[in-house]
Chain A
Amino acid sequence: MYGIRRIHLPNPGTWNPFQELERFQAQIGRGGVAASVKNAAPAIDVWSEGEGLRLSALLPGVKPEDLEITIEGDELTIRGTVATSGPRDGDRWLRRERASGTFARTLQLPFAIDADGVKARVANGVLEMDLPRSAAEKPRRIPIQNI
């Protein structure tokens, strides 16, 4: 079973950051603006390709050096940190939808992975991985002896 998370996006519409400042100020006082913060765990797709798996994870704002990937048998864990960006002292939130902080997601894969053959790359906030199936778990053809 993979951890699949659906994204529920806010209504696009338009919004006036300056004229509605007073309303947001009142919300901040009640913690209303911060209440909409989503979970820092990334959205992940996994699919079979050839004899292995491919993985794609959306990690906007996560630097490669802040990412740690471990594989143990058929278990893949992605840990990382989404750097905080936001107001300094004296500044005020107007809208807070992004998640920040540390996250960890563990996926149970359908078979063991050859950890030495794994390729991972991050570009523009997207992690892509090639996960080859462990040779020990690949289907083997059993020769039939003519006795």
Chain B
Amino acid sequence: MNCDTQNDCGPVAERATETDTKSTTPYCDVWEAEDGVHVVAEMPGVDPGSVEITVERDVLSIRGKAELPRAAARVEGRPATVAIAYLRSFQLSDTADSEAIQASCKDGLVRLLVPRKQPSRRRIPVSA
């Protein structure tokens, strides 16, 4: 594929030619370990302060915003950055402890640990 150097080209700018904000679904690795389920989401350009993790009912959502550079000269007055909105959702099962989710963000990666609920066992007294 040839590229005209007078215009921006490539996957990042291409996704944002129509609007100033583009929604993107990040690639994720998910694995199950002894301490729960680990999730690593790729969100290049995302500032750790813009990451938002929510649990609504049983749906875990990871959101992040990024400003990525792009060619500004193609359209007069167009900003030199494009806003990217990342969103990925997972449905949690009853065994996930949504109150104890841990998250961190570094180098464009968001890492989560969704621990398992500790099994609760109650003894029910039986009256005579």
Interface membership of chain A positions 1-12, coded 1 if the CB is closer than 8 angstroms to chain B and 0 otherwise: 110111101111
Closest CB-CB distance, B5 to chain A, in whole Å?
4
Report if A79 contacts B (CB, 8 A).
no
Stretch at the interface among A68-76, A80-88, A134-142: A80-88
A18:B9 contact, CB within 8 angstroms: no
Question: Do B66 and A49 have beta carbons less than 8 Å apart?
Answer: no
Do A124 and B66 form a contact, CB below 8 Å, given A43-B12, A61-B42, A94-B31? yes
How many A residues touch B, CB cutoff 8 Å?
54
CB of B100 closer than 8 Å to a CB of A: no
**Closest chain A CB from B71 CB (angstroms):** 4
Contacts of A11 in B (CB 8 A): 25
> Is A125 within 8 A of B90, CB to CB?
no
Q: Does A120 sit at the interface, judged by CB under 8 A? A: no
Distance (whole angstroms) from the CB of B111 to the closest CB of chain A: 8
With contacts A15-B91, A54-B71, A124-B45 taken as known, whether A10 is within 8 angstroms of B107 at the C-beta atoms is no
Interface residue tally of chain B, by bracket?
Answer: 35 or more
- A48 near B89 (CB under 8 angstroms)? no
Question: What residue of chain A has the Cβ atom nearest to residue B64's Cβ?
Answer: A124
- B89→A14 contact, CB < 8 A: yes
Least Cβ distance of B31 to chain A in Å?
4
A8 to chain B, nearest CB (A): 10
Distance (Å) between the CB of A61 and the closest chain B CB? Answer: 5
With A47-B5, A98-B29, A98-B42 in contact, is A19–B93 under 8 Å at CB? yes
Given contacts A2-B9, A14-B59, A95-B28, 20 further A-B contacts (CB under 8 A): A2-B1, A4-B1, A15-B90, A16-B92, A17-B114, A18-B92, A47-B70, A48-B71, A58-B44, A60-B107, A85-B29, A85-B111, A86-B31, A91-B31, A93-B29, A94-B31, A98-B29, A110-B5, A125-B43, A126-B45
